[in-house]
Amino acid sequence: MTSEVVENEFEFYSKAEKYWKDVPATVDGMLGGYGHISSIDINSSRKFLQRFLRDGPNRTGTSRALDCGAGIGRITKRLLLPLFKTVDMVDVTEDFLTKARSYLGEEGRRVHNYFCCGLQDFIPEPNTYDVIWIQWVIGHLTDNHLSDFLKRCRASLRPNGIVVIKDNMAQEGVIMDEVDSSVCRELAVVRRLIRGAGLHLLAEERQENFPEEIYHVYTFAMR
């Protein structure tokens, strides 16, 4: 539980904001120096996501997606804009969203909203999104705030919409990273928070071909 490792909630969030303000607005900066894994990450995410976009009675729509913890728009540019008509981005760091406007190029015209906000305070519009993509950012939320945010995401889905989390998983327990003021949770904790938010897990997959020295990365789809 994050309550065991986060001593001061205000400090937990303010330290993270300060950390990201000093990070270069580049793909390498977004990935903590692991920019070379971006294509592996995107290709796996596309394959995972497309299983829900195929034809069928419960097919997820492709009208609008939300990129949470979007940074400069790495995922928006390479994963979401090629698959969805419009995309919204939310990130706590204003400089990243400013950079996104040039980084995304011509296709960026299909990004309708750039929300500068921490996810603990962000309220996505109800019944709006086909896919809400949350990658490498849940560690910046306490358990309570993550659960509450997932509940708001659930309310924000259109029919047959899905929420996707892709993130690092600890081997055991909840581990605090003092450098960027984030936590890494074990799989069982993340699954419990998903269920507690009233979401049903549709698929779960471990990322392959990432460097051995980093945490295992899992992708979850839910609605």
Q: Is 92 annotated as contributing to ligand binding? A: yes
């809400």: which residue's tokens? Answer: 132
What DSSP designation does 80 have?
Answer: I
Q: Is 76 annotated as contributing to ligand binding? A: no
Q: Is 90 annotated as contributing to ligand binding? A: no
Residues in contact with 140: Cβ distance below 8 Å, sequence separation at least 6, in sequence order:
13, 16, 69, 118, 119, 181, 182
What span, in angstroms and rounded, lies between the C-alpha atoms of 213 and 73?
Answer: 25
- The dihedrals phi and psi of 17, each to the nearest 5 degrees, come to -60, -45
Instruction: Give the dihedral of Cα atoms 154, 143, 177, 163; nearest 10 deg.
Output: -10
Residues in contact with 144: Cβ distance below 8 Å, sequence separation at least 6, in sequence order:
none
- The dihedrals phi and psi of 31, each to the nearest 5 degrees, come to -105, 20
Strand order in the sheet with 157-169: 111-116, 86-91, 64-68, 129-135, 157-169, 216-222, 201-206
Q: Is 119 annotated as contributing to ligand binding? A: yes
Q: Is 69 annotated as contributing to ligand binding? A: yes
Q: Is 135 annotated as contributing to ligand binding? A: yes
Give the helix ranges, DSSP H, for 33-157.
38-53, 74-75, 94-103, 143-156
What span, in angstroms and rounded, lies between the C-alpha atoms of 116 and 20?
Answer: 13
Q: Is 139 annotated as contributing to ligand binding? A: no
* Beta bridge partners of residue 129, listed in sequence order: 157
- Residues belonging to the binding site for S-adenosyl-L-methionine are 69, 74, 91-93, 119-120, 135
Which residues are documented as binding site?
A: 69, 74, 91-93, 119-120, 135
